[in-house]
Structure 1
Amino acid sequence: MEPIRPTPSGAPAPEAGAPEAPDLGQLLKLSGRGDESAFARLYDAMAARVFGLAVRVVRDRAQAEEVVQESFLEIWRTSGRFDPDRGSAVAWLLTIVHRRAVDRVRSAEASSRRDTTYHDRNQPVAHDATAEAAQASLEARRVRGALASLTDAQRQAIELAYFGGYTHTEVASMLDLPVGTAKTRIRDGLIRLRDEMGVGAS
């Protein structure tokens, strides 16, 4: 089957070897109206990037492929909700993918915990290990609560940089932002997290 190629009308033909980048926001809008051709073009434009993010988060290619499928299914179902006034199409798409990937990691961790529960319950546990586990659980709840206090823009940047493992330059590219703006969002988000968690407070 021949790959689907965008054929924008009324636009000058791009130079050979440099195809014109599709308007992702427009493709999302058309997809929201049930345009399968537009969705296929959206998939072609973003599949590699989506897979790259999924692999970075779940760190397993087979799991990442499933995340990609689940993500594009959600994108197809919810594309009509995309609002360009609230952020770029790339940021909206990658936020869905990141959330799906994180859910997959959490699900795998929960499954692993269930599989090892019996073993853990029948092993002597040192007091220090128990205390450390309790402290880690408390810290995780504090971090989740603090993240909820951030703006959407700050939370997207923080999650990509610190949970996704991306550099400032990569975060800027994913969110369609200047590098300086991405750094500012990350910095402001970290300051707000610090304040919410009381880190460094006197």
Structure 2
Amino acid sequence: MPATLRLVASDDTGDEGLADLLAACARGDRAALQRLYEATAPATFGRMLRLLRDRALAEDALHDVYLAVWRKAGQFDPTRGSAPGWIAAIARNRALDIIKSRRRDAPIEEAGDPEQWFDAVPAPDMALVTQQDVAALRACLEQLSPTARAMVQRAFFEGLSHAEVATVAEQPLGTIKSTIRRALIALRACLEP
């Protein structure tokens, strides 16, 4: 099995392998960057594409992310988190920078069609969710206000933190937190039998 395939494993060995590659990048090992890229770029690109919603822009942003990984590899501390998490944070920050600089984000009320929030092919860990559950969730999401629905979308389907949602929405963090909390309470009540 090629080394890059072992690196994407979810066990501790995979994370240690990625941390070792980051350490090698910090020492200037370009081959380590290539292996790190091969092991992590698909997931990173998927995140960028979900956040930016533009394939060309996501490809450019992916390039920027790995330049930043190369430059900052010496700052990675495996005691503070995993290598994939560290790379994901760089990717998320880059995507938010692009969103802010381009001012391409629509008002929070226009976050898009809820049908687009769900992947056509569910991730393996979501395989246990039945179609009935998905349909019920969609119906409950439709009962939320457009603003609350958009905030839930950004926080839970796009992976933004509450602070990032506040930045994108240009609203105070407290407003975002309370709106999302009320929306989650409403969703829980709607989904309970």
Contact 2:44 2:88 survives alignment (8 Å): yes
Counterpart CA distance in 1 for 2:175 and 2:103 is 30
Superposition map of 1:75-154 within 5 A? 75-109=69-103
Counterpart CA distance in 1 for 2:100 and 2:155 is 13
Q: 1:27 aligns with which of 21, 33, 40?
A: 21
Structure number, greater radius of gyration: 1
**Aligned residue for 2:3?**
6
1:59-118 CA distance string (max 9 Å, x none): 0000000110000000000011100111111110000001001111111117x99xxxxx
Contact 2:22 2:33 survives alignment (8 Å): yes
Contact 1:57 1:164 survives alignment (8 Å): no
With the length of structure 1 as denominator, give the TM-score of the two structures.
0.49
Q: Percent identity?
A: 34
Superposition map of 1:182-193 within 5 A? none
Gap runs ≥5 in structure 2: 8-13, 110-152, 163-172, 182-193
Aligned residues: 118
1:134-182 CA distance string (max 9 Å, x none): xx9xxxxxxxxxxxxxxxxxxxxxxxx8447247xxx9xxxxxxxxxxx
Comparing 55-64 and 19-28, the one that deviates more: 19-28
Q: In structure 1, give the amino acid aligned to 2:3.
A: P
What's the CA shift for 1:197? 7.0
**Aligned residue for 2:63?**
69
| Alignment root-mean-square deviation, CA | 3.7
